[in-house]
Amino acid sequence: MSTHYNAFISYKHADLDNKVAAYVEKNLEHFHIPRKIRKKTGVNKIERIFRDTDELPITSDLSSTIEEALNNADYLIVICSHNTSKSMWVEREINFFLQTHPKENILTVLAEGEPADVVPDILKNKEVTRVNENGETEVFTEPVEPLSCDFRLPRRIAKNTEIPRLAAALIGCAYNELMDRQRQYKMKRLTAIFVGILALAISFGAYMFNSKQQISKSYREALISQSKYLANESGKLLDNEQRIDALHLALAALPNEKTPDRPVTVEAVRAITQATMAYTPIYSGNMASEWVYELPDRVTQMRMDPSDMILGAMDDSGNVKVWDWLTHKELYSYSENEWYKKAENIGLYKGNIIILGTSTVISANPRSGEVNWDTGLLENSIVGDPGIYITANQNFLIALNSGKFLEISSKDGSIVNTYSIPKDIVSDMYYHSSIDDFVLSPGGTKIAFRYTLKNDHHRFGIYDIPSGEVVIGESEYNSINAMSFSNNGNLCLAYLEDSSPFSKDYLNMTTIVDTHQIICCVSPEDMSVKWEKEFVCNEMLTNSEFVNLEDGNTISYYSGNAAAVYNASSGEVLHHYNLNSPIVYGFAPHDADIPCFITESGLFSSVDHADEELKLFKYFTDDLYKVMVNCGVYAIKNGSNKIIFYYPEVHDEEWESFKDAPPCYESTDSSQFSSYLDDDVAVILDIQKNRADIQFYNSSDKSYITSSEIVDKNINSDSFSILGKYKDELIVRCNKTDENYDYHGVTLYYVNYKTGSIASKELDENTVSIPNAMCYSNGKLLYAATDSFLNNYIVVYDIEKDTEQKYIPPYSPSDDQILFIKKIFYFEEQGYMYYAGYDSYFKGLNDSESDDLDHILNNTFEYTPVDYIITINSDEPQYIPVTHDESWNKTEYVVTNDSGTLFAMADGNNIAIHNNKGEKLAAFSNRNSQIEGFVFYNDPNIGRELLIVSYSSGKLYRYDAKTGELLYKNSYSDKDDTYFFEDDQPLYKTKFIFDKEHSCMYMHNLKMTNIFDLDTFTEIGCVKQSLGYHAPTDTFLALSLSEDDGYILGYFNHYTLKDLIRKAKDILGDHELSQDQKDAYGIN
């Protein structure tokens, strides 16, 4: 009885090949097949692999043992190396195996070298039999790429990734399915361990209680680990724009009906917050993934019908699906195995799906599922991309590879007209029947077509429909990359210059070269050349297309990484852009004179018309292969079976507008935004040149109150800022300067937020000598004044009492030294004030010939920081000096703890912590990132007082407040993309709020509020376009873009976990993960 083998290993008996063959044999025979795949395929194990260990003599034939083994083996595995070509037996074994087996049953293993060099030639090609148009059988040789497993990788990686690839073929299952089942098996094995521990513990009655506690803890930890894993995978999917799958995993990471006892982790809360896009208003540039459409195989085409709001798509295997655009529900699917009905192209027309099979056209209503009509088998195959055009009389135009164009009735599928290319032209075509592509002129009277000659060159022609005449261009081209009729009726071509190289991909390597193309405009009447322009690009030619613009006389062309805009009549190059990444799609927005482009790397281009500068925005995922813009953006990653749908206004729909709120702010280059929020009032300040618009809102009942306008020639973003609120009045500071920008004091505006009335007070430059040092706190204005020696001191002005108190630091003035105040910080509750200043010492004039003012000042004056902690509750204030290191610059920002025992300060580069006696306790640098803000916090979980520091790099660090030791660090979302500085000091604007009731910390900076879990300081959400958190109503105030492009003030309620779960389920509707996806992630 013959012995059956799962595979026969053929190899050259050399050292490397012997080792690889032995390794493959051992690991395949010991390969564990997951239970579900065993059940599905009926294969329980890989039983026998034949490997002959003896080298055969050169003169002998194949032994009977080897012949028998080859006959009884399911697969042949060929070890490929540089030695393979030296072995006559490998080729003989391949030939003998092919006598009884198909070539698809031969697998190759790369031991060294590149596939083109080491794979036997017999495996690189296959013979294909076809019947030509005359009914004659012809045999062709086509290149093939056998399934190759890469054993050039390290053995551990090869075992984990390449052995399963061979095993999948031997077992008879998909490689991805096998890998998913293995991951599921490992997760279930882990669960089985815990279940085993549980069963073992229960069996020991004497240790029942303690064992139960331990098992419960282990089970809980296992659930927590799985929750974190699912949450992290959700985040990865969301980063990859797979939002719908991310929502499913986020829900699975939380307690649900199947695992009600699953603990809630902050990672899971963060995952569901991000996936639901909770707290996201509408704002300029918030393009986001709304949905993901799936097909069984790699997506090749997609079409959108905006009139009927349906989306259609097709994959590599000819599967067609149609979805409702509004609900995302699948309406229709099509898949045909009959050769002439297999879908090769699709179109959408008046709510119907038009399917172009290999040799038939079918019209179907996707909403009813009924077929409208079917042309039946046509006389030849349909060619061209997109393959179908709408004629002037609303019929369909298609091309056959026999050299004919068919006009098909859109009503019943009957052939209305046939337009034939003369036979002498068809005879010149490759295989006598190859129209590569065609386009229809704007008026529908001319068909331009491109075809390949027998010498592999390209040529084009124009078929005149009214006369039936065909005109062929005289020139032959190396390659015509694109053609299109311009709006003025001329034909535009883009072709490669002779012998021009182009960038190529090979394995993991890309060669980048300059590709030279010619853009040519041709008269369709006589084929005369109107104009020609050279076009140079590099990068891969992912897509090459013309784009007509609405003005009628402008056309654009893009290819590789470059795009150009031409005057369609003269050929004048109006614009040229380099996007530094292959362009996959271009389109002309309404009334635009320059197209927009989307690149392979996910960048969106827009042109600033003021300076014609190209701006690139990262809106989409990477590695894009195909894009369509129509009622949103549809993107396909290279090799993906999914269509990612982006929409420019994807947002949290539970945002509520303030009652009667008007548009309050427009994001323009000439305006700057500032805001103020407390328990009673919200203020939005839109700073224009010489004018400030102020709007007031009741922050508690969420209603609009009134507005005011301040007109002042000194108003600009650097000189105008909100100080605070006193009773019913908002206090705003405006610095006064002359035409030479010399400082002349400040104007204080008191704006009543209930009535909108405005009062003002002028303070000269002697009264307020350092305007940016002015601050306000609880009814008191603090500012720097100047004495007769030009030294600064502090004035605290009590608004209600109309009294002043001066704080003059102990300082001995001299003729060559002056004391300046940079900042004042007032901590009334703790009983302190902080004086941040510097001593300016005159060194004398120098001989520098430099005209740079900063250079002269730095060489003329010497600056030394002078800081004081000042007590304010005693009759005689104490001035406690704070000594800094020599490297310390001027102090920019100071905070104190609740008890007033610790002070933290920053100079822009460093942070120092001092006690209230001025003694330094710790210091550390800014970690190569700007310091945005810091705050003290007593952490009850660890029993330490912390200094929490936020950095502009998106890092949140927690230091021991007394030692400066770095204890923890977390990441958080970056700033809003469109924020503006309020004055000349953009740093240290961060406000921290600790909400112990909800166990949250809120960090607000400019127009972004980050939400952190107070136990772990993990960010669980963020609110863009935010004014901050309003504690009395537990809401987040946020601006959202309205239809007239102005922003409206509204708010989000602070969501509970139950709210977030509801939001996720509402988005998903009845969408479910496939069983394979559930198995892959270990979801029950």
Peptide bond into 1032 cis (omega under 30): no
Q: Name the 3-class secondary structure at 195.
A: helix
- Tokens matching residue 982: 């309020």
Helix, strand, coil shares of the chain as percentages rounded to 5? 20, 40, 40
Output DSSP code: residue 55. Answer: P
Query: Buried b vs exposed e over 479-501: b needs ≥16 C-beta within 10 Å?
Result: bbbbbbbbeeebbbbbbbbeebe
The answer to whether domain 291-551 and domain 656-1054 are alike in fold is yes
CB atoms within 10 A of CB 475: 15
Tell me the C-alpha distance between 845 and 745, whole Å: 29
Adjacent-strand bridge partners of 1029: 1036
pLDDT, tens digit, for every residue of 124-169?
887 777 777 777 778 777 777 766 888 988 888 888 888 998 999 8
DSSP letter string over 680-697? SEEEEEEEETTEEEEEEE
In tens, the pLDDT along 901-913 reads 999 999 988 999 9
Residue with tokens 């883009």: 494
Residue 1069 region, left (φ>0) first, then alpha (ψ -120 to 50), else beta? left
Q: Which of 338-347, 845-854, 976-985 has the lowest mean pLDDT?
A: 976-985
Helix (H), strand (E) at residue 70: helix 64-71
What are 1080's two structure tokens? 């892959």
Domain spanning 291-551, CATH class: mainly beta
Q: Using CB atoms within 10 Å of the CB of residue 889, give its burial: 0 to 12 exposed, 13 to 18 middle, 19+ buried.
A: middle
Contacts of 716 (CB under 8 A, 6+ apart): 687, 689, 690
Q: Using the predicted structure, report yes or no on whether residue 819 has a pLDDT greater than 90.
A: no
Neighbours of 314 (CB within 10 A): 24
C-beta neighbour count of 386 within 10 angstroms: 13
Which phi and psi angles does 183 have, rounded to 5°? -65, -40
Q: Measure the CA angle with vertex 338, ends 336 and 341; round to 5°.
A: 65
Mean pLDDT of 356-362: 95
Residue 746 makes CB contacts below 8 A (sequence gap 6+) with 733, 734, 735, 736, 762, 763, 768, 771, 774
The residues, ordered by sequence, that sit 6+ positions from 672 with a Cβ below 8 Å of its Cβ are 686, 687, 717, 980, 981, 982
Measured at the CA of 93, the angle between CA 87 and CA 94, to 5 degrees, comes to 100
* 956 in Cβ contact with 969 (< 8 Å): yes
CA distances (Å), origin 642, targets 226, 239, 331, 618, 874? 26, 15, 17, 20, 71
Whether the predicted model's global pTM rises above the 0.85 cut: no
Q: What is the pLDDT of residue 194?
A: 54
- Least confident among 57-61, 411-415, 482-486, 799-803: 57-61
Report how far residue 123's alpha carbon sits from residue 108's, in angstroms, rounded to the nearest whole number.
9
Q: Is 669 within 8 Å of 342 (Cβ atoms)?
A: no
Length of the chain: 1084
Q: How confident is the model at residue 89 (pLDDT cuts 50, 70, 90)?
A: confident
Domain range summary for the chain, segments of one domain joined by +: 5-173, 181-275, 291-551, 656-1054
Distance between CA atoms of residues 917 and 869, nearest Å: 8
* Mean pLDDT lowest among 340-349, 568-577, 971-980, 1048-1057: 971-980
Work out the pLDDT band at 210, boundaries 50, 70, 90.
low
Residue 202 in this model has a pLDDT that exceeds 60 = no
Q: Angle, nearest 10°, between helix axes 243-252 and 266-275?
A: 150
3-class DSSP state of 118: helix
Q: Which of 85, 97, 133, 114 is nearest to 9 (CA)?
A: 97
pLDDT, tens digit (0-9, with 9 covering 90-100), for 432-456: 557 888 999 998 999 999 998 888 8
Least confident of 354-358, 545-549, 702-706, 846-850: 846-850
Find the mean pLDDT for residues 259-272: 94
Could you tell me the pLDDT band of residue 386, with boundaries at 50, 70 and 90?
confident
As a CATH number, domain 656-1054 is: 2.130.10.10
CA–CA distance, 381 with 361 (Å, rounded to integer) = 11
At 9-64, the pLDDT tens digits run 999 989 899 999 999 999 999 888 888 888 888 888 998 999 887 655 444 567 78
- pLDDT tier at 813 (50, 70, 90 boundaries)? low
- Residue 477 DSSP class: B
CA distances from 688 to 69, 298, 429, 717, 718 (A): 87, 52, 67, 8, 11
The Cα 318–Cα 296 span in angstroms is 10
Among 106-110, 386-390, 442-446, 609-613, the range scoring the smallest mean pLDDT is: 609-613
- For residue 188, pLDDT over 80 is answered with no
Contacts of 239 (CB under 8 A, 6+ apart): none
Using CA atoms, how far apart are residues 822 and 892, in angstroms rounded to an integer? Answer: 8
CB 170 within 8 A of CB 28: yes
Q: What is the DSSP string of 533-593?
A: EEEEE-S----EEEEE-TTSSEEEEEETTEEEEEETTT--EEEEEE-SS-EEEEE--TT-S
List all residues 6 or more positions away from 1073 whose beta carbon is below 8 Å from its beta carbon. Answer: 245, 248, 1083
pLDDT band, residue 856 (cuts 50/70/90) = very low
Q: What is the pLDDT of residues 1004-1056, one digit of tens each?
A: 988 899 999 999 999 999 999 999 999 999 999 999 988 776 899 999 999 99
Does domain 5-173 fall under CATH 3.40.50.10140? My reply is yes
Q: Which residues contact 681 (CB under 8 A, 6 or more apart)?
A: 696, 697, 698, 699, 705, 725, 730, 753
Distant-in-sequence, close-in-space partners of 1076: CB < 8 Å, separation ≥ 6: 177, 180
Query: 3-class SS at 628?
Result: strand
pLDDT digits (tens, 9 = 90+) for 681-698: 999 998 888 888 999 999
Neighbours of 402 (CB within 10 A): 19
Side-chain half-sphere of 366: how many Cα atoms within 13 Å? 30
Calculate the CA dihedral of residues 397, 401, 403, 404 and round it to 10 degrees: -30
For residue 982, pLDDT over 80 is answered with no
Stretch (H or E) spanning 80: strand 73-80
Torsion of CA 447, 451, 457, 462, to 10 degrees: -20
The interaxial angle of helices 208-239 and 266-275, nearest 10 deg, is: 30
Nearest to 1012 by CA among 990, 1034, 987, 993: 993
- For the chain, what is the mean pLDDT? 87
β-bridge pairing 780-786 and 792-798: antiparallel
Q: What is the pLDDT of residue 259?
A: 87
Q: Is 448 helix (H, G, I), strand (E, B) or coil?
A: strand
The DSSP line for 1055-1083 is --HHHHHHHHHHHHTT----HHHHHHHT-
Position 186 scores a pLDDT of: 62
CA separation, residue 710 to residues 251, 759, 910, 982, 1043 (Å): 50, 10, 38, 17, 27
pLDDT confidence of residue 853: 42
Strand stretches in 816-972, DSSP E: 817-827, 832-842, 861-871, 879-882, 893-896, 902-906, 910-915, 920-925, 931-939, 944-951, 955-960, 966-971
For residue 367, what are the contacts with CB-CB under 8 A and spacing of at least 6? 310, 331, 332, 351
Query: Whole-angstrom Cα distance, residue 1005 to residue 1003?
Result: 7
- From the number of C-beta atoms within 10 Å of its C-beta (0-12, 13-18, 19+), residue 53 rates as exposed
Residue 245 has pLDDT above 90, yes or no: yes
pLDDT band at 565 (very low <50, low <70, confident <90, very high): very high
Structure letter (DSSP) for residue 86: G
Strand partners of residue 61: none
Residue-level pLDDT at 201:
46
Residue 277, both tokens = 């896009």
